[in-house]
Amino acid sequence: MVTRLDTKIYDAATEVTWCPGCGDFAILRALKLALADLGIAPWQALVVSGIGCGSKLPDYTSINGFMTIHGRPLPIATGARLANPDLHVIVVNGDGDSYGIGGNHFLHACRRNPDLTHIVENNQIYGLTKGQYSPTSDKGFVTTTSPDGSIEAALNPLSVAIAAGATFVARGFAGEPKHMAQLIVEGIQHRGYALIDVLQPCVTFNRVNTYDWYRSRVYKLEENYDPADRLAAWLKAQEWEERIPLGVLYRSADSPSYEDQVGALKISSPVQSALRLAREPSPGQYEPLKAEFM
């Protein structure tokens, strides 16, 4: 039986430095709502972020937080999960961090299926460096590094994730924080890697993909939509120009997580081993290993 917690317990005394109206506020709120709904206390979770406006999120909470380096939160979070599978590990980073500099880690997290919840603050722009085009910027987008309009095709993170073997692929919208919170709940409950790409307007540097731009396009997936159909999910993920679906596009309910398949973790986690060995080093246990050298 889950006891719903008060979202105030995740608050921090720090000053939030996001621009007024930034979509990241909704993500922070949705994350707190999701953790409260699931009864996860601040010390039971770990939020790992990278670099960028949105990656400052852990600083604005009283949840265990590790603000790391650009593009690397996924492997850092994977290491933390493998060290202590009791931690609820949530990765929060932007589209540049996730799909640009961290693109390789993103692909391998999808196929590897570690039990992580990955919330991508996707505003289709680099905000903290003041407005350069990102991997998800639409072709033709004019920024300081694409003054004549970007000539690169935008990355479609959802179809890439499905193709790469992700077992939970969802899209949320900063204009729908409660819907987003439900996606985060389902992502945390999912056993394996859960991608939640969140459309999150940058009110300062992206004057194209605004709240209004998204509102006129987004829709919630129909009741009868079947997220278990991988091919249908891939086709659904192609929708972008006119209509943009929100919700869980793909979910594989019966895929084991990476951690589920690590034999060593069935015996002891690395964190528990280190605690135990510091108390009782048990040197005798290693003697049999000498045999292979003789």
Chain positions contacting another protein, by CB under 8 A: 12, 14, 41-44, 46, 48, 51, 56, 58-59, 62-69, 72, 74-84, 86-87, 104-105, 107-108, 262-265, 267-271, 273-275, 277-278, 281, 283-287, 289-290, 293-294
Considering the complex, state which of residue 64 and residue 123 has its C-beta at the smaller distance from another protein.
64
> Got the DSSP string for 89-141?
EEEEEEHIIIIIITHHHHHHHHHH--SEEEEEEE-SEETTTTSEE-TTSPTT-
Contact between 25 and 18 under an 8 Å Cβ cutoff? The reply is: yes
- CB of residue 64 to another protein, shortest distance in Å: 4
Considering the complex, state which of residue 29 and residue 108 has its C-beta at the smaller distance from another protein.
108
- CB of residue 201 to another protein, shortest distance in Å: 24
Crossing angle (nearest 10°) for helices 177-189 and 24-38: 50
- CB of residue 86 to another protein, shortest distance in Å: 6
Tell me the C-alpha distance between 79 and 112, whole Å. 13
Apex 144 CA angle, 142 and 146, nearest 5: 50
- CB of residue 60 to another protein, shortest distance in Å: 9
Considering the complex, state which of residue 57 and residue 154 has its C-beta at the smaller distance from another protein.
57
Residue written as token pair 């307007």? 201
- CB of residue 142 to another protein, shortest distance in Å: 30
Tell me the C-alpha distance between 244 and 233, whole Å. 13
Considering the complex, state which of residue 72 and residue 230 has its C-beta at the smaller distance from another protein.
72
Considering the complex, state which of residue 149 and residue 281 has its C-beta at the smaller distance from another protein.
281
Q: Which helix (H) or strand (E) holds 237?
A: helix 230-237
- CB of residue 193 to another protein, shortest distance in Å: 14
The partner residues of 94 in beta bridges, in order of sequence, read 121
Considering the complex, state which of residue 147 and residue 288 has its C-beta at the smaller distance from another protein.
288
